[in-house]
C-alpha cells in the first residue's frame, strides 16, 4: 500500500451535511471534490427549505440522503429547524455547510447543533452582508468584490472569516455578470476551506482564524 492511500485510510472523514435552497452549484463543487478524493469528508445528507430545489436532485444523483423541510409544513420556523436539526443529528453530522441556503439559522439551532457551521457569501465581508450582495457591490460603485467563507455565528454573515478572494468589479458589470464571475471563485474557495477544517488546520482565536501549516 502506498503512503498516500495508507494516510487516507487513517484519516477521520467528517460526516458532513449541506443545506441549499436553490440550484446547488456550490453543492455540486463540493460533491465533485469529495468524489474525486480531494476532500477528507463524507457527505451524508443534503437538506433544503424548498421542495423543488435542484440541490436535492444533485444529492440524489450522487447517492446522498436528501430531504426537504418546506416552512409551509410547520407551524413556525422554530418547529422547522427543530425537525431539521433532529434529522442532521440522526445522520451523526459533524460539519454543516450552507451553500446558498436562503434562511438565517436561529440562535437555538446554532447553539444546539454541536458541530461547526460554515457559509460562503458573495462579497468581501464585512462589506455587503445579506441578500443581493452582488447588486449592492455594483450599485455602490466598488472596484473590487469577491467571496468569503466564514464560520456561522448568531449574526447576519458576521462569523469569523476563514478565506476570502478578490474579484474585480468591471465598469460594464451588471449584478448577473459579477455574480457569475464570483461564483467561479466560490466553487474553488469553498472546498479549500472545508479541506483546511477537515484536516484540522483551522484554529479560532476570538474573531481570528489561524491556518496552520500542513
Q: Could you read off the pLDDT of 105-141 as tens digits, one per residue?
A: 999 999 999 999 999 999 999 999 999 999 999 999 9
Q: What is the pLDDT of residues 6-38, one digit of tens each?
A: 344 456 799 999 999 999 999 999 999 999 999
Instruction: State residue 5 phi and psi, 5-degree precision.
Output: -65, -35
Catalytic pick from 121, 132, 150, 187?
121
* CATH 3.40.50.170, applies to 119-214: yes
Q: Is 187 a catalytic residue?
A: no
Q: Residue length, the chain?
A: 214
Q: Which three cell numbers stand for residue 35?
A: 468524489
Question: 3.40.250.10, 3.40.50.10420, 3.40.50.170, 3.40.50.300: which CATH number matches 1-115?
Answer: 3.40.50.170
Where, residue-wise, is CATH 3.40.50.170 in the chain?
1-115, 119-214
**What is this structure's pTM?**
0.93
Give yes or no for a cis peptide into 169 (omega within 30° of 0): no
Q: What is the pLDDT of residues 45-95, one digit of tens each?
A: 999 999 999 999 999 999 999 999 999 999 999 999 999 999 999 999 999
Query: Rounded CA gap, 101 and 120, in Å?
Result: 10
Amino acid at each position: 500500500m502506498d503512503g498516500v492511500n495508507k494516510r487516507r485510510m487513517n484519516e477521520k472523514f467528517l460526516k458532513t451535511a449541506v443545506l441549499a435552497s436553490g440550484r446547488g452549484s456550490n453543492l455540486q463543487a463540493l460533491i465533485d471534490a469529495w468524489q474525486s478524493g480531494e476532500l477528507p469528508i463524507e457527505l451524508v445528507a443534503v437538506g433544503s427549505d424548498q421542495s423543488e430545489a435542484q440541490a436535492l436532485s444533485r444529492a440524489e444523483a450522487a447517492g446522498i440522503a436528501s430531504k426537504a423541510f418546506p416552512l409551509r409544513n410547520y407551524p413556525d420556523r422554530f418547529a422547522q429547524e427543530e425537525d431539521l436539526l433532529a434529522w442532521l443529528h440522526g445522520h451523526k453530522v459533524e460539519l454543516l455547510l450552507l451553500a446558498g441556503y436562503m434562511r438565517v439559522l436561529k440562535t437555538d439551532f446554532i447553539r444546539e447543533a454541536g458541530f461547526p457551521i460554515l457559509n460562503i457569501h458573495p462579497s468581501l465581508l464585512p462589506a455587503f452582508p445579506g441578500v443581493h450582495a452582488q447588486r449592492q457591490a455594483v450599485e455602490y460603485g466598488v472596484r473590487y468584490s469577491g467571496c468569503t467563507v466564514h464560520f456561522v455565528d448568531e449574526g447576519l454573515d458576521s462569523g469569523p472569516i476563514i478565506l476570502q478572494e478578490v474579484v474585480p468589479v468591471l465598469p460594464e458589470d451588471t449584478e448577473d455578470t459579477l455574480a457569475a464571475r464570483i461564483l467561479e471563485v466560490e466553487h474553488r474557495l469553498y472546498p479549500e476551506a472545508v479541506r483546511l477544517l477537515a484536516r484540522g488546520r483551522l484554529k479560532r482565536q476570538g474573531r481570528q482564524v489561524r491556518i496552520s501549516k500542513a
